[in-house]
Amino acid sequence: MSTELPKAYDPKSVEDKIYKLWEESDFFSPEGLHSVALAKEGKIPEPKPFTIIMPPINENGSLHAGHGLVMTIEDIMIRYKRMAGYKALWLPGLDHAGFETQVVYEKKLEKEGRSRFQMEPKQLYDEILNFTLVNKKNIEEQIKKMGASCDWSREKFTLDDDIVQIVYQTFKKMADEGLVYRGEKIVNWCPKHQTTLSDLETTDVEQKDNFYYLQYGPFVIATARPETKFGDKYVVMHPDDKRYNDYKDGQKIDLKWINGHITATIVKDEAVDMTFGTGVMTITPCHDAVDFDIAERHKLEREQIIDFQGKLLPVAGEFVGMPISKARPLIVEKLKSKGLLVKVDKNYKHVVKKCYKCESLIEPQVREQWFLKMKQLAEPAVKAIENDEIVFIPKHYKKISLHWLKNILDWPISRQIVWGIPIPAWHHEPKCIPRPGKEKETKKCLKTIIALEEPECEFCEAKFTRDPDTFDTWFSSGQWPFASLGYPDSKDYKEFFPTDVMETAGEIIFFWVARMIMLSLYITGKIPFKTVYLHGLVLDAKGRKMSKSKGNVINPLDLIEKYGTDALRMGLVIGNTPGTSLALAEDKIKGQKHFANKLWNIARFVLISVPDNPNPGVKFTRKDQENLDELQMLIKDVTEDMDRFRFYLAAEKIYHYVWHTFADKIIEESKVNLTSDNLATKTSAQRMLLEILATSLKLLHPFMPFVTEEIWSKLPIKDPEKTQSDLGAGKKLLIVEEWPA
């Protein structure tokens, strides 16, 4: 034939050119698809929508291997549905990523010898904004490098004005309906970053510590944290513990303690474990959740021992200002010198909480925070999941999500950082200057008002100060599916919501997936998506989690530079079952580069062997028809796998068919017929090879879009009935060709 492929496939010379062609075609937009145009002309029924909302990528760095997997799986889904005739929308987005982005920027400040605590909030905000805007362009280019066929005209950012307004409206609705409250509770406090964290933002780590037994008057108490004991003036025991029947609730006891004599109070409470230690405990209500609850039940005083920087306060006497790590051994020495140290268990194992970003030990602190009541929000989500309105892939995540939702705790949604969506709340100054005629009504002054702009008090002249906190980033991203589509009035929201698939990492099922379900049902009354597809971690070749400290981070762009995007995509998919971790070896990507070359060489052979117009009237030989029947079975199998989200199986089946059946068997067996003097036999072989190649390209396109599109452009396929020609002779781009049936 007249068109001949170069001898070797060079991804670098193809990929950017092909992506530009796709972008210019407008096929990433559902409105630009042939099926939509034909439906408008009344030639076919209106195509069904298929929607994926891209998990917004954090604007604080570069794409990593996990992002590469997300882009690959979601692009496979959207390309398949687009070819299957759906009005396919894949909406891209970027995430301000609140705390995570601020942590990244704080590391940058540290390298520059600066600290966010020495900066005005606006200066810090503006610097982070500029930092993310620079990253935004890089991330978009990296997403394109992965071949992502998302609709860039609809790209959203979690700090877009319309998104922020929806977040504010949600918060206002929740406040009006009594789901939001502001109060003092024990929270997870990161001393390094000086912000509250939810339980999901901490990691539980088992470690071995000394366990100190201390003489507390007539009792022996035990603790792993002697530095918290300076303010302990309540000794608590179970009311049913017969060992302490002689002690009455409220009884006072004078005793010698760390910094002198104190008067302690007996408290009887059922929270005490009678089987642990001596069955007696002292409480530190400001630094322990159980202790805080006991103090609240009995209306006991609270005293902060450790400040928000993790240093001891004046109550600690000579240890004031010391960090815990320095103070603890000195405090133990003092306890020993005063005869208060009974014994030390040096093999005490317990679980401590650490910040998931910096690994600092979490310090429980009492802070006034904004909380969201979750049980009422969780109930509709539980019902929807139990009724299988949302399908989880893999299935066991259904049980995992239900367990968490049924045991959900109130969510602290405020963060003490500047980078994020400010909480739209204003606080009344302490004093009241009554307005004329309102002197007797100042008791009606609202302590806090939720409003976008500074409010005025109806009864007095007091000023309001803006709440300094921002929303937890998951509060805004939890509204992403409906907010990004323009809830409630946009055409996109009405047409594409609920979305079809949410594809994301299994590790954020609680952070994000469960919260999207709850918030969507609360605001829209609808589930946000019909299917949740959860992938596992991408690990290094040895099965280890990637980290900079280990030096084993795989940069997807480096692999693309070396082997091409198609090879990386296939390497990420084959052998990767949903919900399980994938050990990604470079040799695997290299092997898929060989496959791309094999496909290229197959196409070169077919194009050399097939004339521009093989006679379509010639019947296939029996053997050629058998080969086509086998191809039909492959189409059926692969289509079923695609419909059931078994992309790893579909890719593997196509790979083996193309290499081992098409190349090794069919082409080799056809070489005799291609040189036959019998024109019918020769033409049958030519038609068969072209049919198998064309179909293989269609099946492979969602997985390997670049090499398949490039080869497709060279095929001698004519179809004058097809409109919107992109390649001439009535042939469409492969991206919008019909899926084989």
Q: What is the pLDDT of residues 378-401, one digit of tens each?
A: 999 999 999 999 999 999 999 999
**pLDDT score of 364:** 96
In this structure, the number of other CB atoms found within 10 A of the CB of residue 473 comes to: 26
Which class is 195-365 in CATH? alpha beta
Is the pLDDT score of 721 beyond 70? Answer: no
Q: Beta partners for 471?
A: 414
* Tokens encoding 506: 């299994």
What backbone phi and psi angles, to 5 degrees, belong to 89? -125, 125
Percent of the chain with pLDDT over 90: 85
Residue 142 in tokens: 């990296």
Structure tokens at 350: 């317990």
Q: How many CB atoms lie within 10 A of CB 320?
A: 13
The whole-angstrom separation of Cα 161 and Cα 459 is 33
Amino acid sitting at position 140: E
Q: Residue 154: its pLDDT value, please?
A: 98
pLDDT of residue 720: 46
Higher-confidence residue: 349 or 616?
349
The rounded distance, in Å, linking the Cα atoms of 544 and 321 is: 40
| Residue 204 burial (10 A CB sphere; 0-12, 13-18, 19+) | exposed
Q: What is the 3-state secondary structure (H, E, C) of 24-90?
A: HHCCCCHHHCHHHHHHHCCCCCCCCEEEEECCCEECCCCCCHHHHHHHHHHHHHHHHHHHCCCEEEE
Say what the pTM is. Answer: 0.92
Q: How far apart are CA 30 and CA 285, in angstroms?
A: 57
Question: Strand pairing of 93-95 and 57-58?
Answer: parallel
Q: What are phi and psi of 501, to 5 degrees?
A: -135, 135
> Can you give the pLDDT at residue 436?
83
Tens of pLDDT, residue by residue over 621-661, are 999 999 999 999 999 999 999 999 999 999 999 999 999 99
Copy the structure tokens of residue 489.
């009035």
Structural tokens at position 159: 């700090």
The DSSP code for 311 is B
What Å distances lie between residue 498 and 50, 152, 160, 521, CA to CA? Answer: 10, 20, 21, 11
CB contact at 8 A, 206 and 284: no
Radius of gyration of the chain, Cα coordinates, nearest whole angstrom: 33
Q: What's the confidence (pLDDT) of residue 314?
A: 97
pLDDT in tens, 37-52: 777 778 888 899 999 9
What is the tens place of the pLDDT at every residue in 288-304? 999 999 999 999 999 99
Token pair recorded at residue 353: 């909480």
pLDDT at 729 over 60: no
Q: Which residues pair with 343 in a beta bridge?
A: 213
* Distance separating alpha carbons of residues 484 and 157, to the nearest angstrom: 8
What does the pLDDT look like over 89-121, one tens digit per residue? Answer: 999 999 999 999 999 999 999 999 999 999 999
Kindly tell me the sign of the dihedral angle through the C-alpha atoms of 214, 215, 216, 219: positive
Q: Is the pLDDT of residue 725 over 50?
A: no
CA gap 383, 459 in Å, rounded:
45
- Side-chain half-sphere CA neighbours of 52 within 13 A: 32
Q: What is the DSSP string of 446-457?
A: -SEEE-SS----
* C-alpha–C-alpha distance, residues 474 and 420, integer Å: 11
Q: Going along 131-179, which residue ranges are E strands?
A: 156-157
194's torsion region: left (phi>0), alpha (psi -120 to 50) or beta? Answer: left
| Tokens 């670098």 found at | 12
Residue bearing tokens 């301000």: 96
Does residue 195 have a pLDDT over 70? Answer: yes
Give the pLDDT of residue 644.
Answer: 98
Q: What is the pLDDT of residue 37?
A: 77
- Do the Cβ atoms of 545 and 537 come closer than 8 Å? yes
Residue 726 has pLDDT above 90, yes or no: no
Section 436-464 average pLDDT: 84
Sheet holding 499-505, edge to edge: 87-91, 49-53, 499-505, 529-535, 391-393
Cα diameter, the chain: 113
Tokens of 497: 């919501």
pLDDT of residue 3: 63
Judge whether residue 515 has pLDDT over 80: yes
pLDDT of 489 strictly over 90 = yes
Residue 373: pLDDT band (50, 70, 90) is very high
Task: Count other Cβ atoms within 10 Å, centred on residue 324.
Answer: 18
350-360 per-position pLDDT tens digit: 999 999 989 99
60 neighbors 499 (Cβ within 8 angstroms):
no
Q: How far is CA 563 from the centre of its chain?
A: 28
Residue whose structure tokens are 């390094």: 192
Topology match between the domains 195-365 and 568-736: no
For residues 60 and 353, the model is more confident at: 353
Contact 235, 217 (CB under 8 A): yes
Q: Give the rounded distance of the alpha carbon of 586 from its chain centre.
A: 25
User: How far out from the chain centre does Cα 167 lie?
Assistant: 18
- Among 56-70, 79-93, 152-166, 720-734, which is the least confidently predicted range? 720-734
Question: Percentage of the chain with pLDDT > 70?
Answer: 97
Q: Would you list the domain boundaries of the chain? A: 195-365, 425-466, 568-736
Q: Decide if pLDDT at 563 tops 70.
A: yes
Instruction: Provide the CATH topology of domain 568-736.
Output: Isoleucyl-tRNA Synthetase; Domain 1 (1.10.730)
Core vs surface per residue 646-678: b (16+ CB within 10 A) or e: bbbbbbbbbbebbeebbbeebbeebeebbeeee
Contact 558, 552 (CB under 8 A): no
CA nearest to 450, candidates 165, 160, 176: 176
End-to-end Cα separation, the chain, in angstroms: 27
Separation CA 215–CA 339 (nearest Å)? 8
CA quadruple 585, 591, 592, 597: dihedral positive or negative?
A: positive
